[in-house]
Amino acid sequence: MSNLDSIFRDLVIANRILATEEVVDAYGHVSIRHPDNPNHFLIARSLAPDLVTADDIVELGLDGQPVGNEKRTLYLERFVHAAIFEARPEVTAVVHAHAEDILPFGIADATRLRPVIHSGSFVGSEVPVWDIADNFGDTNLLVTNMEQGRDLAKCLGGNNVALMRGHGFAAAGRSLIEVVRMSVYLPRNARALLRAKQLGGRIRYLSQGEIDARNRGYSPYSTETWRAWEYWANKAGVGDLLSRPEA
């Protein structure tokens, strides 16, 4: 049995960090696969991430439906998470958000979002853009059923991040800490690339070899990774919830 208390606390921390770092506002959500049952995942009920506490976390199946007798209102777009967990067994945590500075890259088609800064490397060398209109025509742009979620997951493929046209992004990580970090640095990478384009000339993107080298060195509980998680949690006012696994 896993320590569920600690996982609930981590998920609360993740919610608060994403709000404080302005990756989410009232909308956007983060989930983690259930440690004891890979066919379930944990996510908040329909509530702004900045207000989420452990009591607000619900357990859903890979069809996006609640497990047990859950009656509270759920996020309309929980199918983003369900479909990615279904398609990608190695994925442990998912974020869906509308972070403002990635939006232009899903709207304009002349510049693809790619890593230009080392902290953006975990985004990976391919960031596909999913347009819900391609297969579903005129919608409210929200991913509100498994069919739409699976279409998004298919577009994401084996990548870490997909942009969603006129809407936001979905990110998949090997750990909760990784996906939160990726979500915080994704907009920063987007801003750096936008401004580099404004300065003009040749853009020096990270090479595939650099992206691979950084990826190989990644560990969710290394001192370097923990440093950011600890910093962001304290900045978000939930430093007291931190618990670090023994190395």
Contacting residues for 51 by C-beta, under 8 A, at least 6 apart: none
> Which run of H or of E encompasses 59?
strand 57-61
Which is closer to a second copy, CB of 150 or CB of 214? Answer: 214
Nearer to a second copy, 8 or 185 (CB): 185
Q: Does 53 bind a second copy (CB under 8 A)?
A: no
Would you put residue 150 in left (φ > 0), alpha (ψ -120 to 50) or beta? alpha
Residue in this structure with the two tokens 């595939």, named with its chain if needed: 208
- Residue 154 C-beta: closest distance to a second copy, Å: 20
CB atoms closer than 10 angstroms to residue 241: 18
By CB under 8 A, residue 27 contacts a second copy: yes
Catalytic residue among 77, 90, 126, 147: 77
**DSSP structure class, residue 120:** G
Residues 75-134 that bind a second copy (CB under 8 A): 76, 98, 100-101, 103-111, 116-119, 121, 131, 133
Minimum CB separation of residue 86 from a second copy in Å reads: 24
* Contact status: 210 vs a second copy (CB under 8 A): yes
Angle at 28 between CA 74 and CA 178, to 5 degrees: 115
- Match 């996982």 to its residue by tokens: 7
Which positions ≥6 away from 229 have C-beta within 8 Å? Answer: 13, 17, 177, 180, 181, 242
The two structure tokens encoding residue 33? 């696969």
Residue 178 annotated among the catalytic residues of the structure: no
Reduced to 3 states, what is the DSSP secondary structure of residue 110?
coil
Among 59, 196, 219, 242, binds a second copy (CB under 8 A): 196
Residue closer to a second copy by CB (options 3, 26) is 26
* 152 in contact with a second copy (CB under 8 A): no
- Residue 51: how many other CB atoms lie within 10 Å: 12
Q: How far is the CB of 238 from a second copy (least distance, A)?
A: 14
Query: Least distance from C-beta 127 to a second copy, angstroms?
Result: 14
Binding part of the chain for a second copy, among 3-11, 46-54, 155-163, 171-179 by CB under 8 A, reads: 46-54
Q: Which of 4, 6, 46, 159 lies at the binding interface for a second copy (CB under 8 A)?
A: 46
Start-to-end Cα distance in the chain: 19
Task: For residues 236 and 216, give the distance between their C-alpha atoms in angstroms, rounded to a whole number.
Answer: 29
Complex with a second copy: residue 111 or 243, whichever CB lies closer: 111
Binding residues (CB under 8 A) for a second copy: these are: 25-27, 46-48, 50-51, 73, 76, 98, 100-101, 103-111, 116-119, 121, 131, 133, 137-142, 165-167, 188, 191-204, 206-207, 209-210, 212-214, 217, 223-224, 227-228, 230-232, 234-235
Catalytic (active-site) positions: 77
